[in-house]
Amino acid sequence: MLNIIIFGAPGCGKGTQSEKITAKYQLTHLSTGEMLREELSKQTELGKQVELLMSQGHLVPDEIVIKMIRERIELHRDSHGFIFDGFPRTIYQAEILDQLLTEFKQTVSLMISLEVSEEELVSRLILRGAQSGRSDDNEVTIKNRITTYQKNTRPVIDYYQNQNKCHMINGSGTMEEVFDRINQAIKPYDA
């Protein structure tokens, strides 16, 4: 099985590249951001609970995303592998993911961190906000999301570097150029 984490700041291209990776390697795509947005749009109890946090650019509580991920891994236990998009976002989530995968006799194969300058992140997200109307893609929330990323999420890189699983990839350029770089990193793991 090929289990890939796609990691990086908001707007780095995680969702975009995950779709390409999923199609090419036939993996199950698990995006915690998408799962949460679905709860929001259906206005479930959970959606109402996380609405304010997300609209302000904060992380939602670890327990919520961990429960969602656990359920999806169980549901797709026969899949070729997973792409974890936007998860883990804290060291605690990374530790739990290792435990969860161990339960299923699996492990993280590699982590890909897409590196993009802050200036480019902001302009991509403002453009997306204008086109899609996604409520957290406004200037104030984008700044908060980037700050949250630097403080709570970026340290997750060290966790995977210590396991020799972290691949830092230049996330600038066209979507195809970035995808080519990602494929080079995945190749040795795709036996």
Please name the residue ranges forming H helices in 29-117: 32-42, 45-55, 62-75, 91-103
CB of 9 to ligand B4P, least distance (A): 7
Query: Where along the sequence are the contacts to ligand B4P (CB under 6 A)?
Result: 10-16, 32-33, 36, 53-54, 57, 59-60, 65, 86-87, 89, 93, 124-125, 128, 136, 145, 174-175, 178
Residue nearer to ligand B4P on the CB measure, 149 or 166? 149
| Active-site residue list | 14, 89, 128, 134, 145
Nearer to ligand B4P, 78 or 121 (CB): 121
Pairing of strands 4-8, 110-115: parallel
AA letter at 147: T
- Cβ proximity to ligand B4P, 90 vs 106, nearer residue: 90
Ranked by CB distance to ligand B4P, the top (closest) residue is 33
Q: Rounded to the nearest whole angstrom, what is the least distance from the CB of residue 59 to ligand B4P in the complex?
A: 4
Question: Phi and psi for 12 in degrees, rounded to 5?
Answer: -75, -15
Contact 142, 9 (CB under 8 A): no
CB of residue 70 to ligand B4P, shortest distance in Å: 13
CA nearest neighbour of 20 among 34, 4, 38, 43: 4
State how far the Cα of 49 lies from the Cα of 53, in Å rounded to an integer. 8
